[in-house]
Structure 1
Amino acid sequence: MTKIPSQERKGKMSVLSLLTMNCNFIKSQISEVLVRGWENYKENVDTAQTVLALALSQYLESNQQEINLKDKKVLEIGAGTGLVSIVASILGAYVTATDLPEVLENLKLNISRNTQNMNTHQPEVRKLVWGEDLNEDFPKSTHHYDFILASDVVYHHTSLDPLLTTMAYLCQPGTVLLWANKFRFSTDFEFLEKLRNILIVTLLAEFPESNIKLFKATYTAFLSRSAS
């Protein structure tokens, strides 16, 4: 497990400085996308959402030996502005970015603009309403993903059980869920405990000063009974 040390500047900006100043990818194309993503979205998007997307994106780029996305099938839950999907696509994955219908137009535009001439495989943007029409829209017989990516999808809302159902459904044998979360509410901890009941959950990295943690979760046999 990687523990990111505290810096003199506490809070969200210390995480951003770690992502954009102290990492070896700063001169790469991916770094340009990350920095551009922060500058473009910080005025219009919840800061926690953006920081968590940056944290997961940086982790993917910095740990390519352990998490090799090249030619892998990747689905992002709650893609929002698409930053994580953009990075996964540049890293060579077959990306499916999902979110609510009203988000898809902007999501598709962001991904298209930021992956043009940099991706190996054309990213796909699809509707995914948590807990709804999973068997119809993502039948397990034809939709198996190597990685499920999620950042800041757990917060103080009423869709946590449908989100849990969706994660459980998508995590088949061989699938790895990578989830970045900022722990702010009791619901965050409650969701983590529920997730541990159906998947094998491991802490990969954390930013202690900001209560941000990155988790890895994989299929367990209990899933076939609880999420079918």
Structure 2
Amino acid sequence: MDVCLSSVQQPQRLAQAPRTPGGWLETEEESTVLEDGTGGPPAGSNKTESSLLSLLKFVPTDYASYTQEHYWFAGKSIIIQESIESFGAVVWPGATVLCQYLEEHAEELNLQDAKVLEIGAGPGLVSIVASILGAQVTATDLPDILGNLQYNLLKNTLKCTAHPPEVKELVWGEDLEENFPKSTFYYNYVLASDVVYHHYFLDELLTTMVHLAKPGTAVLWANKFRFSSDYEFLDKFKQVFDTTLLAEYPESAVKLFKGTLKWD
């Protein structure tokens, strides 16, 4: 079994450590505990690696609600810390479908060194798979999701990806030009899975997708279709994106679409 970061495990004792409301440890004095029980970074590691290892200190605010789920994609064993207490800390069906598609079509998609942004990354499975497949990944979500997202990305990509994934805050429809200016940001792919469900921010979501897309950007959106609002969003999506149905999974009600922005 090929595990990217087998030498670093989350210390059991972190459950009792000081923490902030968002889940990050308040102290930097805790040393990373390695598999052999010793403290501190491995001998010979550089400052950058030590800094990354220091970020593996995320502690859930409600630790009892978190579980570790195991996935296998891109030839790697991936361990995701999930919580049923938060929509943003669970791997939904669309995410596994999108991961499967990325894995099966990695060469066709030319993911090696591709610039990829994931909207609503949640616990990070899709971003992890894209990163392992060679992409330069930016994983985004709401502020309260970022701690667990950062932890999962580091745990599963450190030492085994060409491009360490980046984590950024992204509130749909807010400060888009300020945080992702069109003049400087370009993505080959914008990924999204199960971002459409019964909520009140669908217009903001579509605005965000449009802002992040440029000529040559492909939006890959996988979603389990549950409500009429899902189909209403799809209709609006088709109005601004040339849309192709890439795959459909009737057993899980998941559809995977590719969208390229329409230009006058």
User: What TM-score do you get using the length of structure 2 for normalisation?
Assistant: 0.69
- Tell me the CA shift for residue 211 of structure 1: 1.0
CA distance in structure 2 between the aligned counterparts of 1:134 and 1:54, rounded to whole angstroms: 28
AA paired with 2:221? W
**Aligned structure 1 segments of 4 or more residues deviating by more than 6 angstroms:** none
Indicate the residue corresponding to 1:102 in structure 2. 144
Q: Which has the larger radius of gyration?
A: 2
Picking from 196, 202, 217, the partner of 2:259 is: 217
Higher helix share: 1
Secondary structure of 2:263's counterpart equals coil
CA distance in structure 2 between the aligned counterparts of 1:49 and 1:106, rounded to whole angstroms: 12
Structure 1: gaps spanning 5 or more residues: 1-18, 223-228
Structure 2: gaps spanning 5 or more residues: 1-70
CA distance in structure 2 between the aligned counterparts of 1:44 and 1:134, rounded to whole angstroms: 28
- How many residues are aligned here? 193
CA distance in structure 2 between the aligned counterparts of 1:150 and 1:133, rounded to whole angstroms: 19
AA paired with 1:221? W
Indicate the residue corresponding to 1:83 in structure 2. 125
CA distance in structure 2 between the aligned counterparts of 1:217 and 1:76, rounded to whole angstroms: 14
Is the Cα contact below 8 Å between 2:158 and 2:164 reproduced in 1?
no
Q: What CA deviation, in whole Å up to 9, does each residue of 1:39-72 have, x standing for no partner? A: x537566698432211111110111122121101
Is the Cα contact below 8 Å between 1:200 and 1:220 reproduced in 2?
yes
- Does residue 200 of structure 2 align to residue 158 of structure 1? yes
Identity %: 56
Which of structures 1 and 2 has the larger relative contact order (alpha carbons within 8 angstroms, sep 6+)? 1
AA paired with 2:82? Y
Is the Cα contact below 8 Å between 1:48 and 1:182 reproduced in 2?
no
Is the Cα contact below 8 Å between 1:179 and 1:215 reproduced in 2?
yes
Q: What CA deviation, in whole Å up to 9, does each residue of 1:60-115 have, x standing for no partner? A: 01111221211010000000000000001111111000000111111111100010
Tell me how large the CA RMSD over aligned residues is: 1.9
Of stretches 91-100 and 51-60 in structure 1, the one that deviates more from structure 2 is 51-60
Is the Cα contact below 8 Å between 2:173 and 2:208 reproduced in 1?
yes
CA distance in structure 1 between the aligned counterparts of 2:127 and 2:86, rounded to whole angstroms: 16
